[in-house]
Amino acid sequence: MPFCKNIAILEKEVELAIFPQLRLRRLRRTEALRQMVRETDLSVKDFIYPLFVIHGEGIRQEIGSMPGNFHISVNLLPREAEEVAGLGIPAIILFGLPETKDALGSGAYAPDGIIQNAVRVIKKAMPELVVITDVCLCEYTSHGHCGVVEGGYIDNDKTLELLARTALSHAEAGADMVAPSDMMDGRVREIRETLDRNGFQDISIISYAAKYASSFYGPFREAAECAPQFGDRRSYQMDPPNVREALREVEQDIAEGADIVMVKPALAYLDVIRQIRDEFNYPLAAYNVSGEFAMVKAAAQRGWLDEKAVALEILTAIKRAGADMVITYYAKEAARWLSQD
The residue ranges that bind ligand PBG (CB under 6 A) are 134, 136, 138, 146, 181, 217, 220-221, 226, 233, 289-290
Give the nearest distance from C-beta 156 to ligand PBG in angstroms.
15
Q: Which is nearer to ligand PBG, 127 or 325 (CB)?
A: 325
C-beta separation of 315 from 330 below 8 A: yes
DSSP code, position 239: P
Q: Where are the alpha helices (DSSP H) in the chain?
A: 2-16, 31-36, 77-86, 114-125, 156-173, 187-197, 218-223, 244-256, 270-279, 290-301, 307-321, 331-340
Closest Cα partner for 260 from 279, 277, 284?
284
Give the nearest distance from C-beta 145 to ligand PBG in angstroms.
9
Which helix (H) or strand (E) segment holds residue 95: the answer is strand 91-97
Closest Cα partner for 84 from 75, 96, 93?
93
Whole-angstrom distance, CA of residue 326 vs CA of residue 273 = 11
Whole-angstrom distance, CA of residue 309 vs CA of residue 288 = 16
Phi, psi of 267, rounded to the nearest 5 degrees: -65, -40
Give the nearest distance from C-beta 265 to ligand PBG in angstroms.
7
Give the nearest distance from C-beta 119 to ligand PBG in angstroms.
17
Strand partners, 50: 93
Q: Which is nearer to ligand PBG, 81 or 108 (CB)?
A: 108
Count the Cβ atoms, other than its own, within 10 Å of residue 335: 20
Count the Cβ atoms, other than its own, within 10 Å of residue 130: 16
Q: Which is nearer to ligand PBG, 47 or 220 (CB)?
A: 220
Q: Which is nearer to ligand PBG, 226 or 260 (CB)?
A: 226
Residue 257 φ/ψ region, left for φ over 0, alpha for ψ in the -120 to 50 degree band, beta for the rest: left
Any idea how long the chain is? Answer: 341
Give the nearest distance from C-beta 5 to ligand PBG in angstroms.
54
Give the nearest distance from C-beta 220 to ligand PBG in angstroms.
3
Q: Which is nearer to ligand PBG, 201 or 215 (CB)?
A: 215
Biggest CA pair distance of the chain: 81
C-beta separation of 328 from 293 below 8 A: yes
Ranked by CB distance to ligand PBG, the top (closest) residue is 220
Question: Which residues are catalytically annotated?
Answer: 211, 264
Give the nearest distance from C-beta 26 to ligand PBG in angstroms.
41
Q: Which is nearer to ligand PBG, 125 or 213 (CB)?
A: 213
